[in-house]
Structure 1
């Protein structure tokens, strides 16, 4: 993965990057955008660079979506939620596609969460506020294609639906992360799980820079 930003190399062996330095830009390779951990009392959300084995606080990582990510907008009624533009920026669910374009292959992880801790052995990732260049936007969505089926995980263009996705603990998943316009996106996610009948959660904001 291409990593830029002060001190990125210095922290490669240390694990979690420090908030004392400028944000690191992640631009290619396998990265788990949503990666939850549980310390026995509370959650933490990290961005996990799977190539260099570095974890970042989401505030310390900028996720690049370059012009190489541009694709023709998929056709068909099942893709109507992607708007009416001719093209969209897509970080793909397929690793080979991402590698060929030298762009990010984004994942969702609950691999660091142990079985037997959370009710139903599941947690939820919930999409919160999404802005593009400081204004609320309906231009962000995450979906997975299984054959002819489109499974919409999250969509900023709806008011209440496609906001919450449940995952089993110990799991790992990949989907398409799609942006309809260029700009700087601020995307909020909350992880929630129930422990001993009490809901526990943590929220983080993620930055995506989408460019021509």
Structure 2
């Protein structure tokens, strides 16, 4: 048996049980796959071809929202489908802040399987649950837009490039009490994290924030069309976590994709620039320094990854020692 996240209030306990919403399968190196279970509770839905686009800032704190791809005037976009109103509307993610209210607070489980949360057992977490809770926004993703289903070949790739916020962020699936959490995106892991999503699927997962405040998640959705064309769109998913957090601060938060590449992700050294410098002054020193710099950068990235794994390993060992004593 595996632990679940524990709701803070008895009323939430009945509504935030972590039941199965999707099954994961492998899809080759570098990509994972998420598949919704057809007919699983409230996951069954139909997306109409004539659903409208909405504009203007919107703070979403209750009801059902899916992020997903849509063609607007022939252009591929990553939007949010808001069906808190009827009929549902699609909103640009830049117009949306997802508020995670304090009714979403649960306690971090005392279970080594949840070490990836970087949270002390019993500490408060804000959690958008995998199964719907009436007082908490229910956030998932779908690939059910009719034009998307008609034009895309097989499925899409949903990539998290990074996250900025005051605490740790993670998204995972859990198959009730019978399985360990399956981590889809982890804010501690460097580099792009890809998730393959089949066409005509609808999935919900657990979105976890260890501290209140503003979080901005840098998402990209890409696909191959049946014509052979490759399409992609990148947009920020903004959160105001905790009722004391100002939603306007979240709207004002910078889009990580707008940062200079050198600040967002480490870029490899420019070999052409090194060659040009070498030819200009007749010396191999600039090129040598560029190579050395690239090696040092690779070592730093590797060391950072090992440090993260080491921290988690130490936490697991400490918990096991504590249990043994």
Alignment of 1:1-212 (within 5 A): 15-18=52-55, 21=56, 23-32=57-66, 34-38=67-71, 42-52=75-85, 53-85=88-120, 86-95=123-132, 98-99=133-134, 102-112=135-145, 113-115=148-150, 117-118=152-153, 121-132=154-165, 139-146=168-175, 147-160=178-191, 163-195=193-225, 196-211=227-242
The normalised TM-score by structure 1 is 0.79
Q: Which residue of 2 aligns with 1:6?
A: none
Higher relative contact order at CA 8 Å, sep ≥6: structure 1 or structure 2?
A: 1
Rounded Cα–Cα distance in structure 2 between residues aligned with 1:128 and 1:186: 11
Point out the structure with max Rg over C-alpha: 2
Q: What's the CA shift for 1:51?
A: 2.6
Q: CA RMSD in A?
A: 2.2
Q: What's the CA shift for 1:197?
A: 4.0
Q: Kindly provide the CA deviation profile for residues 36-72 of structure 1, in whole angstroms up to 9, marking residues without a partner as x.
A: 1136954211111123112111111110011111100
CA change 1:145–1:15 in 2 (3 A) is same
Larger strand proportion, structure 1 or 2? 1
Q: What's the CA shift for 1:167?
A: 0.7
Query: How many pairs were matched up?
Result: 185
The answer on whether the counterparts of 1:17 and 1:60 sit within 8 Å (CA) in structure 2 is no
Moved segments of 4+, more than 6 Å: none
Structure 2: 5+ residue stretches without partners: 1-49, 244-325
The normalised TM-score by structure 2 is 0.53
Q: What's the CA shift for 1:160?
A: 3.9
Structure 1: 5+ residue stretches without partners: 1-12
The answer on whether the counterparts of 2:162 and 2:191 sit within 8 Å (CA) in structure 1 is no
Q: Kindly provide the CA deviation profile for residues 71-98 of structure 1, in whole angstroms up to 9, marking residues without a partner as x.
A: 0012322211101231211000112xx1
CA change 1:159–1:169 in 2 (3 A) is same
Larger helix proportion, structure 1 or 2? 2
